[in-house]
Amino acid sequence: SQKIEQNSEALNIQEGKTATLTCNYTNYSPAYLQWYRQDPGRGPVFLLLIRENEKEKRKERLKVTFDTTLKQSLFHITASQPADSATYLCALDGGEKLTFGTGTRLTIIP
Amino acid sequence: DGGITQSPKYLFRKEGQNVTLSCEQNLNHDAMYWYRQDPGQGLRLIYYSQIVNDFQKGDIAEGYSVSREKKESFPLTVTSAQKNPTAFYLCASSIQGGQPQHFGDGTRLSIL
């Protein structure tokens, strides 16, 4: 069956360092992958979309990679700030709908 | 400002009662979705709709019902058949299926 795994439930990173979050999937061949940010008690907010033929996508301090051979996406936040603390979700397209991972709770320590 | 409005933010239900959660969008999106979020389980899809007057079951549709009579509205009814309804419910919309989704701020449902 299809499965999406995000590397850990929680990740603590020192302010100013690069945070790297992992999304692995099995039994899936998505045309694209999306990353969302969710703050406590709020709905997720779309951040980035990367297509299967794109190796890397950037937006300000965010960078996403997509390796369809490894079936993995990496999400990087450079020069991390306490305001980046949130839960980050990856989502894979399934045609008409998306399937979400369980998320990684990122905490940036001042 | 365009967006998705979910109401109410908090909802309480007595055992055996049906309850309806509201979701309205003014983004002119064709597709709308309902998710349930439980601690540690991520988002699970309940129902989705690609177009007015049509909807499909998601992964956990049992005990829920929806309607899509207008493009901007996609209400979710949690029926008494749903044995464990306590959760955070999220509504989303997208231009079309599979595209980036815009989410509301959720309704937290609790059982009295």
Cβ contact A100:A91 at 8 Å: yes
* Residue B15 reports pLDDT greater than 70: yes
- Distance between B100 CA and the closest CA of chain A, angstroms: 6
pLDDT in tens, A34-88: 999 999 999 999 999 999 999 899 999 999 999 999 999 999 999 999 999 999 9
pLDDT band at B1 (very low <50, low <70, confident <90, very high): low
Q: Do A43 and B106 touch (CB under 8 A)?
A: yes
Q: What is the mean pLDDT of residues A11-31?
A: 93
Of residues B94 and A95, more confidently modeled = B94
To the nearest whole number, what is the mean pLDDT of chain A? 93
pLDDT of residue B112: 82
Show the 3-state SS of A88-106.
Answer: EEEEEECCCCEEECCCEEE
Pairwise CA distance, residues A31 & B24, whole Å = 29
Give A16's contacts (C-beta < 8 A, 6+ positions apart): A79, A80
Question: How far apart are the CA of A38 and the nearest CA of chain B, in angstroms?
Answer: 10
Tens digits of per-residue pLDDT, B23-63?
999 999 999 999 999 987 789 999 999 999 999 999 999 99
Taking an 8 Å Cβ-Cβ cutoff, which residues of chain A contact chain B? 9, 31, 34, 41-46, 49, 89, 93-103
- Confirm if A101 and A7 have CB atoms less than 8 A apart: no
**Tell me, what amino acid is at A81?**
Q
Q: Is A97–B48 a contact, with Cβ atoms under 8 angstroms apart?
A: yes
Query: pLDDT > 90: what percent of chain A?
Result: 79
